[in-house]
Chain A
Amino acid sequence: MNGTLVVFQRELSGLFRAPFTWIVLLIVLVLNGLIFNGFLIGTGGNISDALDASMTGPLFWIWIVFLPALLAMRLVAEESRSGTLEYLLTAPVSDFAVVLGKFAAATAFLAILWTSSLLYAGATAVIGGNPDWPAVLGTWMGTIFVSALFVAIGMLASTFTATPLLAAFLSMVACIAWLAVPLLAGQVFSYLIPLIAKTEEARNAWATTVRDIASNMDAFGHFQRSFRLGLLDTAELVFFVTWTALFLFLTARSLEARRWRG
């Protein structure tokens, strides 16, 4: 636990020393602010719509593909390239503490980023608006859970290569696939199922199975169904936590495998 905390502190402070971080902060805050403002004016003062657009609009899903990938690339691939990973992995902390500390730092950074929307909600409340607080807080928490999942995916990708940009690219592809595959699965399988199943019942059974699997992996759907509505559903929490934990576990294993490869 101590090791995790030490690594977390260093990673987070390291992030805020890099110019990259401040550029990202600037771009994200300016664009989110513009969207919030635009929607507020465009909808004639509908605070809920404006907050929704700035927190979970299409822009958020673009950020969520790019930002964790870029952060995770710094965490493992770049350290591996500069040799500091060797330092960390020979320090008296376990691999898992290192992975957890780095993961927590990147997630905390994204959480700070998404907090800007809470400020917008607060500001509108101060000037007499009435934001839907449960939905706002739920959405904020949801964005953090989604970020955590994608950071974990990015870290796993980052352990596969010592070329930072390649790591970022791999991670983006994985994130896009993660988001798109559940949506596309139904379509793809509508062509494949008739080839496997001959009877009508079998076809229906297959379609149900595929739909179930796809919807169970659908991060977007899980987010929309619960957090966005201000609903804290344990099933949805378990979905995000288990997938994140799985990817973190795989990251630690992959780091260990690197040791074996040399």
Chain B
Amino acid sequence: MIEVSELTRRYGTLTAVDDLSFTVERGEVVGFLGPNGAGKTTTMRILSGYLPATRAKRLMVAGHDVLRDSMGVRRSIGYLPESVPLYPELRVDEMMRFQGKLHRMDRAELKGRIDTVLDRVGVLDRKKQLVGTLSRGLKQRVGLAVALLPNPDVLILDEPTSGLDPIQRGEVRRLISELSAEHTVLLSSHILAEIESMAPRVVIIHEGAKVADGDQASILTALGGGQGGHVAVEIASPLEASKISELMASLPGVSGVETGERLGIHQSFRVMGEGDLREDIGALAMTQSWALRELSWNRPTLEELFTRLVSGTLGTEHVAAAREAGAAPTAPAAAPAPAQSSGLSIEPVGQGGGSAKPLPLGTPGTAQPKTIYSLNPFDRGASRDLSKPVSVDAPAPVDLSPNSDGPEEDQEQRP
């Protein structure tokens, strides 16, 4: 349904999208993930026909070539930009009718379709309300209804949940999950929890280049399976800590055991190894008659992985190995097994993007320079891109310490 091959887009000297390739099959829901300024919006704008590509080998959306048959693409997609552009002076049904007329929909068909779609997104009772008086969440729904009206094959939604409160976010998320049954959906977000709950497949981009692509489980296994996962164990036993750790290390699949602190009679351990080791450790504890107080499997979340990927703290040798596995899925045992089995491709951050070493997120001076449209030398806003409305979402500060739990917005996301 969507095929992007070697897409590059430059704004002057700045490369916003750098040699990006991915495909989205019919009926798939793909989440586009990346920090602010990663090139998500640019890519979506190019796919929707709003911006031309600087260079692309192949750009197909819904069977139409974006570069040659822009009108065909525009007719078969529903595109909702982040700013949710709606005419404030129109009523909801008038806005819908305008969209229908632009798509040359039949008058009689349009009438029924408007009600169906408005009902679908849950704003049928607001049909006669002025768009300008709607709340942010309702506007988002109406925007979605406008995009859905011509029943497009492909839905491109740019940050569909930005600027919404947690309840509205949940509603929009549910709505998109429902839509995925009938449409191919490409959506973007810089909030991981959104993507995790809506899109089975994730494409992570950073500085315009693809960093990882695959379903969430395979990204997790490939990047964090061997490295970050561990089983936390807390045991009360008359045995020495070193003895216990030795016993656990002898279990099949265990690659290492760290001895933690002792709290009263309980001793904590971190057991590193492949896969879920809880049952084995539990069985061992039973045979040894240890009193088990805790047994939990801690896997790195996609959130942590994402933060590490884009801030470049993920082991480079790991990424390189995983990339090799992705580039040649049929390669023999040289590559690590988990990455090979997933068919996942991972590219090291910052390569070809110009900068040798990627700077962590939020580092001062890494904000991308924007094109200036204002001719007014006194305009204080001359440094921002005036062609885009100011985003309601302030870029969330990201905690960079490697053992942190992830960006703050994650916590806000899951109250």
Contacts and interface: CB of A to CB of B under 8 A. Distances in A.
The answer to whether A and B come from one shared complex is yes
B80 to A, nearest CB: 9
B92 to A, nearest CB: 14
Contacts of B99: 91
A89 B387 contact: no
A256 B234 CA distance: 65
A6 B11 contact: no
Interface string B45-85: 10011111000000000000000000100110001010111
A6 B97 CA distance: 10
B54 to A, nearest CB: 9
A91 B388 CA distance: 18
A163 interface: yes
B371 A90 contact: no
Nearest to B143: A87
A41 to B, nearest CB: 41
A173 B81 CA distance: 34
B102 A93 contact: yes
Contacts of B389: 81-83
B85 A83 contact: yes
Contacts of A86: 45, 50, 81, 83, 85
A191 interface: no
A163 B386 contact: yes
A18 B132 CA distance: 12
Interface stretch (B188-196, B323-331, B372-380, B406-414): B372-380
B85 A84 contact: yes
Contacts of A81: 386-387, 389
B101 interface: yes
Interface in B347-393: 371, 373-376, 379, 385-389
Interface string A74-114: 00000011111111011111100000000000000000000
B103 interface: yes
Contacts of A260: 51-52
A99 B376 CA distance: 24
A198 interface: no
B71 A92 contact: yes
Contacts of A194: none
B50 A83 contact: no
A259 B81 CA distance: 15
B98 interface: yes
A10 interface: yes
Given A6-B101, A166-B375, A94 B71 contact: yes
Contacts of B22: none
Nearest to A2: B104
Nearest to B158: A86
Interface string B84-98: 111111100000001
Contact of A89 (B50, B75, B101, B388): B50
A255 to B, nearest CB: 11
A262 interface: yes
A90 B79 contact: yes
Interface string B12-52: 00001000000000000000000000000010010011111
A239 interface: no
A96 to B, nearest CB: 12
A227 B195 CA distance: 64
A83 B87 CA distance: 10
Interface size, B (range) = 35 or more
A6 B102 contact: yes
Given A87-B85, A162-B374, A261-B11, A80 B387 contact: yes
A81 B384 CA distance: 12
Contact of A162 (B49, B50, B386): B386
Contact of A259 (B50, B71, B388): B50
B51 A91 contact: no
A160 interface: yes
Contacts of B89: 14, 17-18
A260 B371 CA distance: 11
Contacts of B48: 90
A88 to B, nearest CB: 8
A170 B103 CA distance: 34
A71 to B, nearest CB: 15
Contacts of A225: none
B371 A163 contact: no
Interface string B101-138: 11110000000000000000000000000000000000
A182 to B, nearest CB: 26
A219 to B, nearest CB: 25
A9 to B, nearest CB: 8
B102 A91 contact: yes
Contact of B371 (A10, A87, A160, A261): A261
A83 B388 contact: yes
B376 A262 contact: no
A184 B87 CA distance: 43
Nearest to A86: B81
A5 to B, nearest CB: 9
A6 B81 CA distance: 21
Contacts of A82: 83, 85, 88, 389
Contact of A163 (B45, B103, B376): B376
A92 B83 contact: no
Closest 5 CB pairs of A and B: A83-B83, A83-B85, A87-B85, A162-B386, A84-B85
Interface of A: 2-3, 6, 10, 14, 17-18, 80-87, 89-94, 160-163, 166, 170, 258-262
Given A14-B90, A18-B89, A81-B387, 17 more contacts: A6-B101, A17-B90, A80-B387, A82-B85, A83-B389, A89-B49, A90-B79, A91-B99, A160-B373, A161-B376, A163-B379, A166-B375, A170-B375, A259-B51, A260-B52, A261-B371, A261-B373
6 contacts: A14-B90, A80-B387, A91-B74, A91-B103, A93-B102, A160-B373
